[in-house]
């Protein structure tokens, strides 16, 4: 029970990696705010957590909307009295669009969800964690945040920026007892592909050049286990780290 009694918010928790994180956190004793943009997914995950003996409440939220971000964090405080752990997992792909095909609309949409949303949740959570003298933030980035061509220009930029934001928060709030770390998954079998429509042929072909070196795809729970470690007190000396979980793909 590594998160016994702790209150956690998990974004994008209605499926894939986020769902695995929310369920694992609840199994480890956390009281979980399950947040996702799809109401049916929120209801299902909350129901399954409660049926398994855990504690959870659902919040339908779009991380791109400031008012929804406020609602997520406020729900944790109102229902569970505090906030101990924040996991920024929600994200969208960018159709592998390269820089010369990139539109302002696509750039702004991807960065709003993948970067501005996490910034806002962090900004809202920090005063709560500072007042109580501690907390853990785990941001789910991607190997695209440590490499150059695992996705299109916008997604790659958003995940590199998430790494930079995380390191900044980690150091600046270290003396407040707050840790901020990053998990960078490789290819994981989730439904994020639902956010890919009409991929750029140019960008897709360039991205595919490196996929033959990927040892295998991962499962959501393999990433959730890494997130659990970083969120727990077992990782008390880990701050500002980027943990790549990709079966060795980026080691090639």
**Residue-wise pLDDT tens digits, 99-146:** 999 999 999 999 999 999 999 999 999 999 999 999 999 999 999 999
The 10s digit of each residue's pLDDT in 23-43 is 999 999 999 999 999 999 999
Specify the pLDDT at position 191: 74
Mean pLDDT of 6-31: 98
* Known catalytic membership, residue 173: no
Specify the pLDDT at position 206: 87
Which residue of the set 155, 171, 204, 252 is catalytic? Answer: 155
Mean pLDDT of 171-193: 93
Contact 34, 49 (CB under 8 A): yes
pLDDT at residue 9 greater than cutoff 80: yes
Q: What is the mean pLDDT of the chain?
A: 95
Specify the pLDDT at position 207: 81
Specify the pLDDT at position 152: 95
Nearest to 195 by CA among 115, 102, 114, 99: 114
Contact 64, 35 (CB under 8 A): no
Nearest to 63 by CA among 12, 98, 8: 12
To the question of domain 7-251 being in CATH 3.40.50.720, the answer is: yes
Specify the pLDDT at position 192: 67
Specify the pLDDT at position 186: 94
Q: With pLDDT > 70 as the criterion, what percentage of the chain qualifies?
A: 99
Nearest to 185 by CA among 127, 226, 129, 213: 226
pLDDT at residue 220 greater than cutoff 90: yes
Specify the pLDDT at position 68: 97
CA distances from 103 to 98, 100, 160 (A): 10, 9, 19
Mean pLDDT of 163-180: 98
pLDDT at residue 196 greater than cutoff 80: no
pLDDT at residue 209 greater than cutoff 90: no
Q: In the chain, what is the straight-line distance between the N-terminal and C-terminal CA atoms, in Å?
A: 36
Mean pLDDT of 193-221: 85
Q: With pLDDT > 90 as the criterion, what percentage of the chain qualifies?
A: 87
Contact 247, 219 (CB under 8 A): no
Specify the pLDDT at position 149: 87
């Amino acid at each position: 029970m590594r998160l016994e009694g702790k209150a956690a918010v998990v974004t994008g928790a209605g499926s894939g990696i986020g769902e695995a994180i929310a369920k694992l956190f609840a199994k480890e004793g956390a009281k979980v705010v399950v947040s996702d943009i799809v109401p049916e997914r929120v209801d299902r995950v909350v129901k399954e957590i409660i049926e398994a003996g855990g504690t959870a409440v659902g919040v339908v939220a779009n991380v791109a909307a400031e008012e929804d971000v406020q609602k997520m964090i406020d729900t944790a405080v109102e229902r569970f009295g505090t906030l101990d752990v924040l996991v920024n997992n929600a994200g969208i792909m960018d159709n592998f669009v390269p820089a010369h095909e990139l539109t302002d609309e696509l750039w702004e949409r991807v960065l709003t969800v993948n970067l501005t949303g996490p910034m806002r949740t962090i900004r809202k959570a920090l005063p709560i964690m500072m007042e109580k003298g501690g907390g853990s933030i785990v941001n789910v980035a991607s190997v695209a945040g440590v490499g150059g061509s695992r996705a299109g220009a916008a997604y790659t930029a958003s995940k590199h920026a998430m790494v930079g934001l995380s390191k900044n928060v980690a150091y600046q709030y270290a003396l407040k007892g707050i840790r901020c770390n990053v998990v960078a998954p490789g290819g994981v079998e989730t439904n994020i592909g639902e956010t890919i429509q009409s991929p750029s042929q140019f960008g897709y072909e360039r991205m595919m050049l490196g996929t033959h070196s990927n040892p295998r795809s991962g499962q959501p729970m393999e990433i959730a286990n890494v997130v659990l470690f970083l969120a727990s007190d077992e990782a008390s000396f880990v701050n500002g780290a980027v943990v790549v979980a990709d079966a060795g793909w980026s080691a090639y």
